[in-house]
Amino acid sequence: MRPKKKVKLKDIADALDVSVVTVSNALAGRKGVSETLREEIVNKASAMGYAFSSEEDGEKHIPKKHPKSAGFLIVQDSTATEMPWQNAVAKKALQEGERENIQLHLLHTSKDDLMHGVPAGFAEFSGLIVCGRLPAKLLQNIMRQLQIPVICCGFFDSHERLDFVLDDGFHNMQLVYDLLTQLGHRNIHLVCGSTDVPEIHDHFLGAAFQAAVHRTRDATELPYMPDPKECTISRFIHLAEEEKATAAICTDSESALSLIATLKAKGFSVPADISVTGYSADPAGTRQGLTEIVPDINRIAMLAVKLLSHRINGKAEAAGVWPVSGQLIRGTSAGPVKKGEKTECLKKG
Amino acid sequence: MSEKRLKDVALAMGVSVVTVSNALSGRKGVSPATAEAIVDKAVELGVDLSRYRSRKNNSYTIGIFVSSRYISLGDSFYWKMYEKTAYAASRKHCFSMLEISDEESEKTPLPEMLRQQQIDGLIIIGRLQEDYMIKIIRHSSVPIVLLDVYSSTYHCSAVMSNNYYGMYRSTAYLIDHGHREIGFVGTGITSNNVIERFMGYRKCLMDYGLPFHPEYVVRDRDINERIILQLPDKLPTAFACSSDYAAQFLEMELSKRGLRIPDDISVTGYDNFLYKRAESIPYTTYNVDMEQMGRTAVKMLIRKIEGRDSTACAKYIDSTMIERSSVKTLLPKGEDHLA
């Protein structure tokens, strides 16, 4: 990319007739160089086109390898105006990129724009992180045109042999299930939101899996395969009124909030009567006192950049799905099961 | 003197001294198979391996514990998993010790090698009786990593096959080949792994917007692991099986009805571990990367032994579909899903 030969410390030293150590000290901001000389050296260095390593952190002047340039593509959803999780991943990824010596360029694009082809600027990149679901065709287009390592963030597509770093929505349901069972709940129901997207499927099936696993411990016989049953808000209210439910695991935080509102309207108190948990895609959480799961954005970003670095430097091949554990935010919507509640299923072992 | 010894190994194996040295110290440039053979030969000739092992890395003794239930077969899945793990340990300059539990020993307080304090860390492959597993984890004086078995109640790190996404891949493969009516073969009571795989199959149907038919779910064994596969009257066009083993019994049942794979019905497997039967069809299957799983488990255990990792988490190792000849394409490849 850059045919010009790289300027070395020695070149600067020769040009000013000082020692290499002096140049090094001057550029790194260490002691032992007069201010006037330092200024002179810095001016000369920039005049000659010396590649300064980031001046602020200044500890190591030893010229790093020229940073690799890579793209961080945020796929804009036409319906959503804000992209909280993508932006949070991007912010952390940019920091991580510096540590891995990859200069990430942040790009916002919509699916529609990508339909017309890959933007010309992409040709400069030695790698790409795609953050947000891209249809298989667009992904294939990018791969075919660019022929560079691609790391996908926040979604999975079985058609491509790529790395997919994503929130482990399936196993994360363990966090709320363990919490509720520790709080003594046994009549836990799964309340589904109306959105029908792969992430919600993970939460739904993950909760069903936990239900199956937890029941195994109490029961000697189990149907040979669990059959997850979803429950609407009105159905759950009905169960609560019949004292057949003490807790609701919601597949998303929006339905958790509307369930809480409906419960309160019906005279239930949360969490004294009924515990409710949610699942937020927004790393900052919904912040309404909800006990909810959130993705571990920092780990997702760090892993994506690390994998990209390995791929660019030829240290690894694409290895498939990398599920990243989430975190539980302990709000106030889940509490101990109400005393005197029917706990006939509870067998302490 | 040691030079001579290396040369002896080199002569015996017909390789160069450098290769022997690289193999013994676990450096790159030697194929795993050759390295393994060289290490074996060196042990046989009585070469002192410790000086090669302790040069860079610390050497530990790693115990590997497996239930006899899963390893009794000569060519069993867990035996292969054990081999891969032991090999990964040797590549990390560690010694490994195998202990096989049986029903009698599961009544004893702890595995022999833990009681004798012979090991620095322990890898448990596969399930044990629930109580015994919890007892070992609670009372072990050394770190433990589980392999191919996990539960949040154990509070113990584990390395797992990517059951959920792996089965998704296996099911998606069938959908991509034009199948819309897809059944599942597997029994949940015997293993959480199979329930996870079932959920991966369900996810795939849900993500592609296909209906789920409970009658197409076929169990392959009962609670005592006896094979009891019964086909439904009406069959789907394809089955995604929870293991290659299950696929074989499915094939047998299908042949009783005069149905052949893949002409009459398509099948995908899971694990890429074929029980050697000459008459069986080569299944298209999701690979369980035992090598990577063994390597990851050993790496994780060493980190724990050295006090660099005290978390209890599960790591899921993904792999790919291995295309063979058990799937028939029903339609030209359909439109992109989720477009």
B contacts of A156 (beta carbons < 8 Å):
165, 168
Q: What domains can you pick out in chain A, each with its CATH number?
A: 1-59 (1.10.260.40), 68-168+298-325 (3.40.50.2300), 169-294 (3.40.50.2300)
Question: Following DSSP, what letter does each residue of B66-91 receive, concatenated?
Answer: EEHHHH-STT-HHHHHHHHHHHHHHH
Cβ–Cβ pairs < 8 A, chains A and B: 93
Does A349 have pLDDT greater than 60? no
Q: Cβ–Cβ contacts within 10 Å for residue A289, how many?
A: 15
pLDDT digits (tens, 9 = 90+) for A253-266: 999 999 999 999 99
Comparing A36 with A301, the larger pLDDT belongs to A301
Interval A105-126: pLDDT, tens: 999 888 888 888 888 888 889 9
What is the separation of C-alpha B248 from the centre of its chain, rounded to a whole number of angstroms?
18
Taking the C-alpha atoms of residue B132 and residue A112, their distance in angstroms, rounded to an integer, is 57
Whether ipTM tops 0.90, in short, is: no
| CB contacts, 8 Å: B168 with chain A | 156, 158
Distance from CA of A319 to the nearest CA of B (A): 7
Average pLDDT along chain A: 84
What does the domain layout of chain B look like in residue ranges?
Answer: 2-53, 61-161+290-317, 163-288
Looking at residue A219, its pLDDT comes to 41
- Alpha carbon distance B152, A223 (integer Å): 21
Interface with chain B: mutation pick from A224, A307, A327, highest number of B CBs within 10 Å: A224
DSSP element (H, E) containing B218? strand B217-218
| Min distance B200 CA to chain A CA atoms (Å) | 8
Residue B338 has what pLDDT? Answer: 45
Confidence (pLDDT) at B105? 78
B31: which 2 tokens?
Answer: 């194929």
Determine the 3-state secondary structure of A52 from DSSP.
coil
Identify the pLDDT of residue B44. 82
User: For the structural domain made of B61-161+290-317, what CATH number should be given?
Assistant: 3.40.50.2300
Percentage of chain A modeled with pLDDT above 90 = 46
Bigger pLDDT: A188 or A217? A188
- Residues of chain A with C-beta less than 8 angstroms from the C-beta of B162: 320-321, 323
Higher pLDDT, A294 or B42: A294
The predicted model gives A285-305 an average pLDDT of: 92
The answer to whether residue A183 neighbours chain B at the CB level (below 8 Å) is no
The pTM assigned to this predicted structure is: 0.80
Which residue among B189, B196, B202 sits closest to A222, beta carbon to beta carbon? B189
Domain B163-288 in CATH 3.40.50.720:
no
pLDDT over 80 (residue B333): no
C-beta atoms of A320 and B320 within 8 A: yes
Buried b (16+ CB within 10 A) or exposed e, B72-99: eeeebbbbbbbebbbbbbbbbbbbbbbb
pLDDT confidence tier of residue A217, bands split at 50, 70 and 90: very low
A-chain residues near B189 (CB < 8 A): 216, 221-222, 224
- Dump pLDDT digits (tens) for B258-267: 999 999 999 9
Nearest CB to B162; choose among A202, A213, A320: A320
